[in-house]
């Protein structure tokens, strides 16, 4: 409770937002696994450094909740900002990080590949629409929109360039 109280008092600083964008951005602390706490009015739901802390089943629950509040609106987006692991070049730092988290917390937590993110999105009614590497970091912004039911084809992407 103390952590949540402190988090609620944090006011973000907006950098590089154009026009009235700062007035349209808000941050909210919430229990993301309780669907009644997820605001329905947002047009983009951002999860930064969230999904690597949870098992696939827990991530599915989280994304299903977000999908539900989209209420069929194909213009809304989910934005996941995480490290994407290249299966041909896993850094010692990432491997060490995963080992420590598995030992200390839960053997289900992990960094994921682009293929596993794509499958996770698809399982929960989203399609990956854009992947943007964040400059000078190991992070990527993975954008998804609701999958229109007539477009149920899954496509993998070659990761050798990552």
Q: Given this model, what pLDDT does residue 106 score?
A: 54
Q: Given this model, what pLDDT does residue 73 score?
A: 92
Q: Given this model, what pLDDT does residue 85 score?
A: 77
Q: How many CA atoms lie within 13 A of 109 on its CB side?
A: 21
| Low pLDDT (below 70) residues in the chain | 1-22, 86-110, 149-162
Q: Given this model, what pLDDT does residue 78 score?
A: 94
Q: Given this model, what pLDDT does residue 137 score?
A: 79
Contact 66, 92 (CB under 8 A): no
Task: Indicate the domain borders of the chain.
Answer: 30-146
Exposed (0-12), middle (13-18) or buried (19+): which is 144, by Cβ within 10 Å? Answer: buried
CA distance 69 to 77: 11
Residue range 30-146 in CATH 3.40.50.150 = yes
Per residue in 61-77, pLDDT (tens digit) is: 999 999 999 988 999 99
Per residue in 105-126, pLDDT (tens digit) is: 555 556 788 888 999 999 999 9
CA distance 70 to 85: 28
Q: Given this model, what pLDDT does residue 30 score?
A: 76
The bridge status of strand 126-133 relative to strand 77-83 is unpaired
């Amino acid at each position: 409770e103390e952590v949540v109280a402190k988090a609620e008092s944090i006011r973000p600083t907006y950098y590089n937002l154009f026009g009235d964008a700062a007035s349209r951005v808000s941050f909210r602390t919430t229990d993301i696994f309780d669907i009644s706490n997820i605001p329905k009015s947002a047009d983009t739901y951002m999860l930064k450094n969230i999904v690597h802390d949870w098992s696939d089943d827990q991530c599915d629950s989280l994304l299903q909740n977000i999908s539900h509040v989209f209420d069929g609106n194909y213009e809304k987006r989910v934005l996941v900002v995480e490290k994407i692991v290249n299966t041909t070049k896993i850094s010692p730092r990432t491997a060490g990080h995963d080992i420590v988290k598995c030992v200390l917390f839960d053997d289900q937590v992990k960094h994921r590949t682009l293929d596993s993110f794509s499958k996770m999105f698809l399982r929960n009614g989203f399609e990956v629409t854009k992947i943007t590497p964040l400059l000078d970091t190991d992070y990527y912004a993975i954008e998804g929109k609701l999958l229109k039911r007539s477009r149920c084809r899954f496509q993998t992407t070659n990761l050798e360039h990552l």
